[in-house]
Amino acid sequence: VQADGTDGSCVTFVLHDEDHTLGNSLRYMVMKNPDVEFCGYCITHPSESKINFRIQTRGALPAVEPFRKGLNDLMGVCQHVLNTFE
């Protein structure tokens, strides 16, 4: 993960070796946070396996916080699905 941006409340994270599977799921989890004003992602080119994942928060909350929380929440959901399946 590589973060670009000077303002901590608006950051673009570059996720390498990922596609829409992680991008859309993570976007959904991050947007559940009421402090997030904008969250979106794009795949730069079909032949490249990287995602530009952008988060913009309200106020002084750093964008890395909802990003980290979204990843942790998504891992929890995936673990629950795996346990239920097994």
Q: How confident is the model at residue 1 (pLDDT cuts 50, 70, 90)?
A: low
More confident: 26 or 3: 26
The per-residue pLDDT for 32 is 96
Domains and CATH numbers, the chain: 10-85 (3.30.1360.10)
C-alpha to C-alpha distance for 63 and 36, rounded to whole angstroms: 8
C-alpha to C-alpha distance for 14 and 32, rounded to whole angstroms: 21
| Residues in Cβ contact with 27 at an 8 Å cutoff, skipping those fewer than 6 apart | 39, 40, 41, 53
Q: Which residue has the tokens 């909802």?
A: 66
7-61 pLDDT, tens digit each: 788 899 999 999 999 999 999 999 999 999 999 999 989 888 899 999 999 878 8
